[in-house]
Amino acid sequence: MIKYILVVVIAGAVTYFVQDSLPAPKYENYKEVLGALLSISSIIFAIIGAWIAIIYPRAIGRVFGDKSAFAAKLANAQQDAGYLSELVEIVLVSAIVLMVVLVIQFTFPLLGDNYMENVGKHIKLFVFFVIASLTFAQLQAIFRVILTNYFFLNEIRNKNKNAEVDKRHE
């Protein structure tokens, strides 16, 4: 929860510092950022969704499989559940970004450029704040994907090293 509050605070601070230089909230001014957000969110959503599809059945199988080695399986399942919850949270962030970007892309053309040029400063700030929040949330999701995979890779390497040491001592 704190990380999302931090995203909103950062977006608010950026909005505050650039408020005097913001252009009218026309679609053309934000088209490239929205397109990039849509692409990145879609990619993350698809990749993490595939990982979840692989990990979820394995985690369930460990808990409800053979009961003889239940304690070891439960520890592995809890580890999988932690990794799975991290991935699901990243997917949720990307899904929210996708939905909001789609709503923006649907709404901007309906409102028209003339309407958007004549809106007050508060609407201009709000539009920028929303897009900045989406951008920082997506950056945070990308960073978490990188960190999660880095730690996962380190864990695999450590297990491989431990297995090699154990094999040498046999």
Tens digits of residue pLDDT in 132-170: 999 999 999 888 888 877 877 777 777 777 666 666 666
Give the pLDDT score at 133. 94
Three-state SS across the chain?
A: CHHHHHHHHHHHHHHHHHHHHCCCCCHHHHHHHHHHHHHHHHHHHHHHHHHHHHHHHHHHHHHHCCCCCHHHHHHHHHHHHHHHHHHHHHHHHHHHHHHHHHHHHHHHHHHCHHHHHCCCHHHHHHHHHHHHHHHHHHHHHHHHHHHHHHHHHHHHHHHHHHHHHHHHHC
Segment 91-113 mean pLDDT: 84
At 131, the pLDDT band (50, 70, 90 cuts) reads very high
**Which range, of 82-96, 121-135, 154-168, averages the lowest pLDDT?**
154-168
* pLDDT for residue 78: 63
Q: What's the pLDDT at 150?
A: 81
What's the pTM? 0.73
Mean pLDDT of 45-51: 81
Amino acid at 109: P
The whole-number pLDDT of residue 134 equals 93
Spatial contact of 151 and 53, defined as CB atoms under 8 Å apart: no
Find how far residue 32's CA is from the centre of its chain.
19
Q: 150-157 long-range CB contacts below 8 Å, 24 or more apart?
A: 152/83
Mean pLDDT of 42-64: 73
Q: For 5-46, write each residue's pLDDT tens digit.
A: 999 999 999 999 998 888 777 778 888 888 999 899 888 888
pLDDT at 70 over 70: no
Most confident of 56-65, 91-100, 107-116, 120-129: 91-100
